[in-house]
Amino acid sequence: MKSSKLGIIGVGHVGKAVLTNLLRTTFFNEYILIDTREDRVFGEALDQNHGTGALNHHNFKIRNGTYDDLVDADMIIVAASYYYGDNILPNLERQELLEDNIPELQQIMEGIMGATQEAILIFVSNPVDTWTQLAITEFGYPKEKCMGTGTMLETARLRYTLAKHYQVDPKIVSTYMMGEHGNAAFMVPSHTHIAGIPFDDLDTFFPQESALNVADLNQEIVEAAGVVYDNKNGVTDAAIGIVTIELVQAIVLDEQTIVPLTSLHPVGTYSSKRELCFGMPTKVGINGIENRYELPLSDWESQKLEKSLQVIADSVDKGKELLMKRKDQ
Ligand SMILES: NC(=O)c1ccc[n+]([C@@H]2O[C@H](COP(=O)([O-])OP(=O)(O)OC[C@H]3O[C@@H](n4cnc5c(N)ncnc54)[C@H](O)[C@@H]3O)[C@@H](O)[C@H]2O)c1
């Protein structure tokens, strides 16, 4: 029987949160941890290994490793980011992280491409749409096996916020945030329901709760990361750790779940004149991307999408240019 191996590249706050959550599952029995901070990743592997000595824990193989160890990996999660020291990322917008992270992306993709093109490759690193797209178009990773968490985190935040407002279980809220993972993410009220009740009818069914304004709600969700960041000393790791497991589980268990991950959408998707990675409802299973669903959008949603796609296109162009300059050096 084949064992299953996961690689995590970048074991800072987010990589560690993903690892710790996964170690409560039995999706994988072998974990390879890769980080440029060799002492940090050695310590993390040792610390997590000590935990396997507890009688209520599974006996996993966890070690710090190299790209050679990923040759037979089933899945690789990239949560690396240029290390700014002092244990925190600077207070930069996600797009502002791009320039410092181009060398990291290049090093990581060269390492992965030298090891495998078979593993499902999941990006969490920001700006996540750009990392995902450059991995495919500039380094050649197979597009149906390559994805990022996209607007899954914003969607979880929206589901939580709507559930809290209407005092219901988040699991019965069906909704999406789409577009860029970042300031240009937008909600899709026309496809938002609570227990089958359309967004526009919620005030009728929940008369005791105040009416929600879509633009204000959208703003609140987009700004939510900053609120966590400001209050957690520059870190957002808990929710993304859980959301990443949602995606991993959908793939490992072949759940055929539909989530707004980011992947490379062909020319013509929402009339886009170029192929582009952005968050939209996508079916995932054991082989990676299974299908994409181009939901009809309202005028407000279409305008938001257009803006989102422009932000990502500009970022991808800048990323390509920076990579080209490095190759010319
Ligand atoms: N997609 C999302 O929804 C989401 C949510 C939260 C955070 N993030 C992103 O996740 C990333 C990580 O955040 P964090 O808080 O864990 O940062 P962090 O600074 O705590 O950790 C980053 C780690 O990456 C390592 N690293 C840097 N370059 C590397 C390389 N070339 N190879 C291997 N490892 C390398 C660093 O040594 C560090 O340990 C950031 O880009 C952050 O913006 C994404």
Q: How many helical (H) and strand (E) elements, i.e. helices and strands, does the chain have?
A: 9, 16
Q: 35 alpha carbon to ligand 1 midpoint, in Å?
A: 10
Please report, for the domain that includes residue 115, its CATH number: 3.40.50.720
Q: Tell me the residue length of the chain.
A: 329
Residue 86 reports pLDDT greater than 70: no
Residue 87: pLDDT band with limits 50, 70, 90: low
User: Phi then psi for 5, rounded to 5 degrees?
Assistant: -120, 135
Q: 99 alpha carbon to ligand 1 midpoint, in Å?
A: 14
Same domain, 209 and 75: no
pLDDT, one tens digit per residue, over 301-314 is 999 999 999 999 99
Of 243 and 55, the one with more pLDDT: 243
Residue 199 reports pLDDT greater than 60: yes
Query: Any catalytic annotation for residue 181?
Result: yes
Same domain, 161 and 137: no
160: tokens are 């939580």
Same domain, 99 and 160: no
- Tell how strand 173-174 and strand 193-194 pair up: antiparallel
Our CA dihedral for 223, 131, 70, 142, rounded to 10 degrees, sits at 120
Same domain, 266 and 214: yes
Residue 214 reports pLDDT greater than 70: yes
Q: How many domains does the chain have?
A: 2
For the ranges 4-13, 67-76, 77-86, 113-122, the lowest mean pLDDT is seen at: 77-86
Same domain, 193 and 310: yes
Q: Provide residues with CB under 6 Å of ligand 1.
A: 9-15, 34-37, 40, 79-83, 89, 97, 104, 107-108, 124-126, 128, 149, 153, 181, 235-237, 240
Q: Which residues span the domain enclosing 117? A: 5-148
Same domain, 106 and 182: no
Same domain, 275 and 173: yes
Count CB neighbours of 63 within 10 A: 16
Residue 156: pLDDT band with limits 50, 70, 90: very high
